[in-house]
């Protein structure tokens, strides 16, 4: 339940101030008493195309937390689409509440109607807390939804493609750091063995990496150990392990002053969105510690590439092939950041923003 005392929006900054600061185009608040739906759709930028971004279903501690999350996530989607060369804008939606308690057909169909009202400016997909079958309910009310099950002509769960992109991005970072991209014998810690994390450790295990894992779900840890010999560590210890690569694959803001101080790895490369609590401060802090950080919105774009390919008729081979570009983009960004003596997040955002600026100029000419 939302704490009433927490209801002030974004503390002192008003919602429009925040939209101005992060350059959001539109925010839609959706409420339906009958189904219990409380959702926010944030459209950040539609210069390159309609805003595509998943719907996160999460039991936020406060409305402030929910708003902050949807604003951060939608902005990240703009950069992710841009840097991946897709003709898509950035948007995201969140539904407030415990998905295990309040999910229903009516709630998703009502949400689908709200999406439909936006006339295609926002296309939804699955995210943390939502599944392909939830997308099916949404698709009963709007065509602006991807991430449908394969038997319905969709691409199904995008997580294996996301994991493949993270794996390739990690290999590119290894090439940049160690001179070759083999992960054989490398020690790698993965935080969060969910849909992406599990697929990732499968690829890492095949390549002969030594894997450490942590998760709040004991069953996931047991499975990772049984299937891939992964060694479990507790949630706090994962940060201070003496390892080569750390892969955050759970929730955001996991790279902050406290955790970065503990890190002993040489590379951070994982799937979680918005890993840096503060982009500039913590991006710089990682650089100062000589830790190569692969920007999250670049390395985890496989899922977006997968759902985007549904828009024009899904083809798994094409989705995987397009995801392979992540390897080369990571190499480019890491060397650009090094040359410009800047942190990698800043270098990646500059490239993403530059593409949007160029396409905006192009669209304004005859």
Per CB under 6 A, residues contacting ligand NAD are 127-128, 158-159, 162, 191-197, 214-217, 220, 235, 249-251, 271-273, 300, 303
Q: Whose Cβ is closer to ligand NAD: residue 139's or residue 214's?
A: 214
Any catalytic annotation for residue 92?
A: yes
Q: How far is the CB of 102 from ligand NAD (least distance, A)?
A: 17
**The one catalytic residue among 68, 80, 92, 186:** 92
Q: How far is the CB of 194 from ligand NAD (least distance, A)?
A: 2
Q: Whose Cβ is closer to ligand NAD: residue 128's or residue 286's?
A: 128
Q: How far is the CB of 202 from ligand NAD (least distance, A)?
A: 13
d(CA 41, CA 147): 17
Q: Whose Cβ is closer to ligand NAD: residue 110's or residue 191's?
A: 191
Residue nearest to ligand NAD (CB): 194
d(CA 304, CA 80): 8
Pairing of strands 89-96, 37-45: antiparallel
Q: Whose Cβ is closer to ligand NAD: residue 92's or residue 210's?
A: 92
Q: How far is the CB of 7 from ligand NAD (least distance, A)?
A: 25
Q: How far is the CB of 201 from ligand NAD (least distance, A)?
A: 11
Q: Whose Cβ is closer to ligand NAD: residue 256's or residue 342's?
A: 256
Catalytic residue ranges: 92
């Amino acid at each position: 339940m939302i704490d009433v005392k927490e209801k002030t929006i974004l503390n002192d900054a008003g919602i429009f101030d925040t939209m101005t600061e992060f350059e959001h185009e539109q925010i839609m608040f959706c409420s339906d008493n009958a189904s219990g739906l409380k959702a926010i759709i944030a459209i950040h930028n539609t210069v390159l195309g309609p805003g595509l971004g998943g719907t996160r279903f999460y039991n936020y501690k406060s409305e402030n937390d929910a708003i902050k999350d949807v604003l951060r996530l939608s902005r990240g989607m703009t950069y992710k689409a841009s840097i991946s060369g897709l003709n898509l804008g950035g948007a995201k939606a969140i539904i407030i509440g415990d998905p295990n308690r309040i999910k229903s057909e009516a709630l998703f169909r009502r949400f689908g109607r709200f999406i439909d009202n936006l006339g295609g400016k926002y296309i939804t997909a699955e995210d943390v807390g939502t599944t392909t079958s939830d997308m099916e309910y949404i698709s009963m009310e709007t065509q602006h939804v991807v991430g449908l099950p394969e038997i319905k002509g969709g691409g199904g769960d995008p997580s294996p493609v996301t994991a493949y992109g993270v794996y390739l991005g990690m290999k590119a970072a290894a090439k940049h750091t160690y001179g070759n991209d083999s992960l054989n014998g490398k020690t790698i810690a993965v935080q969060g063995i969910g849909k992406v994390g599990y697929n990732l450790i499968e690829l890492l295990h095949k390549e002969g990496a030594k894997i450490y894992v942590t998760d709040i779900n004991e069953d996931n840890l047991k499975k990772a150990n049984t299937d891939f010999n992964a060694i479990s560590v507790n949630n706090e210890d994962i940060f201070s392990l003496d390892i080569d690569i750390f892969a955050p694959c759970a929730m955001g803001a996991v790279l902050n002053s406290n955790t970065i101080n503990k890190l002993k790895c040489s590379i951070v490369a994982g799937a979680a969105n918005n890993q840096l609590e503060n982009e500039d401060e913590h991006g710089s802090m990682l650089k100062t510690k000589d830790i190569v950080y692969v920007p999250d919105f670049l390395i985890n774009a496989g899922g977006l590439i997968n759902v985007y390919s549904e828009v024009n008729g899904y083809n798994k081979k094409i989705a995987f092939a397009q995801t392979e570009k992540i390897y080369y983009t990571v190499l480019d960004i890491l060397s650009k950041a090094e040359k410009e003596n800047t942190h990698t997040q800043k270098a990646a955002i500059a490239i993403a923003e530059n593409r949007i600026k160029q396409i905006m100029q192009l669209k304004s000419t005859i």
